[in-house]
Amino acid sequence: MQNPFFNDGSGRNLGDIKLINRAVIFRTIREAGAISRSELAKVSGLNPATVTHIARELTSLGLIEEAGITESKGGRPSTLLKIRSQAGYIIAVHLDRYFMRAMITDLNLEERIFSEIYATQTDKTSQINIENLLNIIDELVQKSKVNERELVGIGICAPGPLNVKEGVLLSPPNFPGWPSTPIRKIIEDRFHLPTFLEQDANASATAEKLFGQMREADNFIFLLADGGLGGGVMIGGEIYHGEECTAGEIGHTTVDMNGPQCSCGNYGCLELYASPRSVRRYVLDQMEQGRQAETLMMIVKGDSKQVSFKTIVEAAEANDPLCLEGIERMRNALAAGITNLVNIFDPEAIVVGGEIEFAEKLLYDHLVNAIKTRTLSGYKKPVQLYFSEMGQDVQIIGAFSLVLRELFQNPSMLRK
Ligand SMILES: [Zn+2]
C-alpha cells in the first residue's frame, strides 16, 4: 500500500488521498506554529474547501485546535489553527550498542524529556539488556507525569539486522546482549501501546523525510555513520527494506577483498575504514605501535581512554598528522562507498548523519567532489550531499517519526 505520509510534500485535490492531505495539513500547521485556513490553502496548494474539510477532520480527531484570531491587513480577521500539543505523547527509544536513550514528547516535539543509560565499558554491551529498556521506559513515564491514557505509541530504532514486520532484533554484530529478541512483543505486553521497530538508519531517513531536509525528496539515502555504517534507502517515498529487512547495509560491502575480518564475518568491509569508531581504533592502534599524536594527547590530557572520534577530529583540525591520516583514510573509503551508493540507486541526495557530523568541515568538500567526479551522474545535476541538521538526535527523532507516521494512517491510535 502506498504510505500516505510519504509523498512529495504538496497537497492534491483527489478524493482518495485523504491521508496524504491530512499529513500535508498537519505538517504545514506544525511548521507554521499557528496559521489561518487561507494561509494553509496558499502554502499547501490545496483548495480552500478541502483545507476547511481536513481542518475539521483533524480537529474532531483531536490533533489540531483553534489558537485565537489574527487581524489580517485590510482583510477580515481569521481564526488560527495550531497542533494540539496535548493531543498525545509519543515514547521514542534509540537503542545503540553502547547506550540506550529514550524520550517522551508531545506531537510537536516541543516538550522533550529524556532518560538514558550507558554501558560503563564500551565493550560490555551485554549489561544493556531488555530489562534495562523496560525500566528506562517506566522511569520516563513517571518522570513526565503524563497520564498513561495520553500515550499514543512507542517507536524504537536499533542497529540491524532486525525484522521490521515481526518486530524482532536479530543478531546485530557487536550486540551480544540481544540475540533474536522479540522486542516489540515484549514492550507491547508490558505497556499495552502500539510499538514500532525500525533499523536506525531507516528511522533516521524517516526523520529526514518528515522533519528534515528531505521533505521534498522521494529518492534519497541516509548514511548513518557512528559505531557502524548503515544506509537508510528511501525509494519513491518509502523505505526499501529488501527481502529480509537487511537492505542498505552499506557498511558491510567489501572495499578490500583481502582486508581484515569484520564483526559480520566478511573481510575488508567498508565500515572498518569509514565509520567514526574505525577511525578511533586506527589512531589508537597506531599509537600502540609507537606513533605519536601530540596534539591529540594534549586535547585528552594524556588519557588515551578519553580519545574519541570528536577529539580526533579536533586534533586533525589542528593538523595532528596521525589524526589527519585517520580522517583521510575514512574520507577515501567514504568517497568510494558514496560513489557506489549513487551508482546503484541514482538518488536525489545523500544525507550523512550520526557521530560523523563532528568531521563535517574535514569531509564535506572531498565527498562532494567524489560525487561530481566519480559517479555516473555527470550528465545531469549532481547528487546533493547534506549533513543532517538533527545532529545526535536524528535517530531518536526517527523513532518518534515511526509512531507519528502511523498516527496519520490510523488516527484512532489517539485515545480520547
Ligand atoms: Zn562487515
Q: How many angstroms is it from 229 CA to the middle of ligand 1?
A: 10
Which residue range forms the structural domain that includes residue 162? Answer: 88-206+394-413
DSSP string spanning 184-230?
HHHHHHHH-S-EEEEEHHHHHHHHHHHHSTTTT-SSEEEEEESSSEE
In sequence order, what E strands does 237-343 have? Answer: 238-239
Do 363 and 225 fall into the same domain?
yes
Do 185 and 92 fall into the same domain?
yes
Q: How many angstroms is it from 260 CA to the middle of ligand 1?
A: 10
Do 294 and 346 fall into the same domain?
yes
Q: What total of structural domains would you count in the chain?
A: 3
Do 292 and 331 fall into the same domain?
yes
Do 78 and 92 fall into the same domain?
no
In sequence order, the 6+-apart residues with CB closer than 8 A to the CB of 241 are 164, 202, 247
Q: How many angstroms is it from 161 CA to the middle of ligand 1?
A: 12
Q: Identify whether 213 is part of a domain.
A: no
Cell of 169: 532484533
Residue tagged 568491509 (cell numbers): 269
Q: How many angstroms is it from 338 CA to the middle of ligand 1?
A: 17
Q: How many angstroms is it from 176 CA to the middle of ligand 1?
A: 16
Do 112 and 193 fall into the same domain?
yes
**Distance between CA atoms of residues 33 and 27, nearest Å:** 10
Q: How many angstroms is it from 368 CA to the middle of ligand 1?
A: 25
Q: How many angstroms is it from 343 CA to the middle of ligand 1?
A: 21
Q: How many angstroms is it from 247 CA to the middle of ligand 1?
A: 14
Decide: helix, strand or coil at residue 174: coil
Do 135 and 256 fall into the same domain?
no
**Boundary of a domain, candidates 60, 83, 106:** 83
Q: How many angstroms is it from 36 CA to the middle of ligand 1?
A: 52
Do 291 and 187 fall into the same domain?
no
**Distance between CA atoms of residues 415 and 150, nearest Å:** 7
**Distance between CA atoms of residues 259 and 157, nearest Å:** 30
Q: Identify whether 107 is part of a domain.
A: yes
**Could you tell me which of 263, 260, 300 has the C-alpha nearest to residue 176?**
263
Q: Identify whether 243 is part of a domain.
A: yes
Q: How many angstroms is it from 262 CA to the middle of ligand 1?
A: 5
Q: Identify whether 2 is part of a domain.
A: no
Q: Identify whether 227 is part of a domain.
A: yes
Q: Identify whether 78 is part of a domain.
A: yes
**Could you tell me which of 60, 59, 54, 31 has the C-alpha nearest to residue 41?**
54
Cell of 414: 489517539
Do 249 and 113 fall into the same domain?
no
Cell of 304: 588515551
Where b means 16+ CB within 10 Å and e means fewer, 369-387 reads ebbeebbebeeeeebbbbb
CATH number of the domain that 237 lies in? 3.30.420.40
* CA-angle at 102, arms to 97 and 105, nearest 5°: 150
Q: How many angstroms is it from 152 CA to the middle of ligand 1?
A: 37
**Boundary of a domain, candidates 28, 57, 83:** 83
Residue 41 phi/psi, 5-degree rounding, is: -65, -45
Length reported for the chain: 416
Do 284 and 344 fall into the same domain?
yes
- Amino acid of residue 301: K
**Distance between CA atoms of residues 170 and 217, nearest Å:** 31
Q: Identify whether 34 is part of a domain.
A: yes
Q: How many angstroms is it from 312 CA to the middle of ligand 1?
A: 23
Q: How many angstroms is it from 55 CA to the middle of ligand 1?
A: 49
Q: What is the pLDDT at residue 86?
A: 75
Q: Identify whether 7 is part of a domain.
A: no
Q: How many angstroms is it from 256 CA to the middle of ligand 1?
A: 11
**Distance between CA atoms of residues 119 and 129, nearest Å:** 10
**pTM, 2 dp:** 0.86
In sequence order, what E strands does 283-339 have? Answer: none
Residue 24 phi/psi, 5-degree rounding, is: -65, -45
Residue 291 half-sphere exposure, CB side, CA atoms within 13 Å? Answer: 15
Q: How many angstroms is it from 66 CA to the middle of ligand 1?
A: 52
Q: In the 8-state DSSP scheme, what is residue 119?
A: -
- Name the average pLDDT for the chain: 87
Beta bridge partners of 79: 69
Q: What is the pLDDT at residue 270?
A: 97
Q: How many angstroms is it from 130 CA to the middle of ligand 1?
A: 25
Do 35 and 141 fall into the same domain?
no
Segments of the chain with pLDDT less than 50? 1-16, 122
CA distances in angstroms from 316 to 38, 299, 313, listed in the order given: 52, 11, 5
Q: How many angstroms is it from 265 CA to the middle of ligand 1?
A: 6
In sequence order, the 6+-apart residues with CB closer than 8 A to the CB of 125 are 97, 98, 119, 174, 175, 176, 177
Q: How many angstroms is it from 172 CA to the middle of ligand 1?
A: 11
CATH number of the domain that 52 lies in? 1.10.10.10
Do 112 and 183 fall into the same domain?
yes
